[in-house]
């Protein structure tokens, strides 16, 4: 089982999809948005394993892990969750 699994809300998913579509963010930001969208374990998510982003986006499994970890850390700071 993946550590740091994420389930994106509808609003989060829309914001990430907008970032990818617009192409006006940094390449790194767009790549991280793609990783989060594909790693989403929610009902609308792709549920990719750590190895899939490596193949699709040219990033390591550890990068995928760190992106999810950072996303959860930032999300919890906004909601007040531990």
pLDDT digits over 24-69, tens only?
899 999 999 999 998 888 888 777 776 777 778 888 888 888 999 9
Supply the pLDDT for residue 26: 92
Q: Is residue 30 part of a domain?
A: yes
Is 64 inside a domain boundary? yes
Model pLDDT, residue 78: 62
2 located within any domain: no
Torsions phi, psi for 8 (to 5 deg): -80, 140
If you average pLDDT over residues 66-74, what whole number do you get? Answer: 90
**Domain membership flag for residue 3:** no
User: Could you give the number of structural domains in the chain?
Assistant: 1
Examine residue 22 and state whether it is found in any structural domain, yes or no.
yes
CA angle in degrees (0–180, nearest 5) for 47-66-44: 20
Residue 55 lies in a domain: yes
Residue 1 lies in a domain: no
Predicted local distance difference test score (pLDDT) of residue 23:
84
Domain of 55? Answer: 10-79
pTM score, two decimals?
0.81
Instruction: Kindly state the average pLDDT of the residues 1-28.
Output: 87
Q: For residues 71 and 9, what is the distance between their CA atoms, to the nearest angstrom? A: 13
79 band by pLDDT with thresholds 50, 70 and 90:
low
């Amino acid at each position: 089982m993946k550590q740091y699994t994420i389930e994106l809300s509808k609003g989060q998913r829309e914001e990430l999809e907008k970032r990818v579509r617009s192409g006006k963010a940094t390449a790194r930001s767009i790549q991280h948005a793609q990783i989060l969208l594909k790693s989403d374990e929610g009902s609308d998510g792709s549920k990719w394993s750590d190895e899939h982003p490596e193949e699709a986006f040219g990033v390591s499994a550890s990068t995928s892990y760190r992106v999810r970890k950072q996303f959860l850390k930032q999300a919890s700071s906004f909601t007040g969750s531990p």
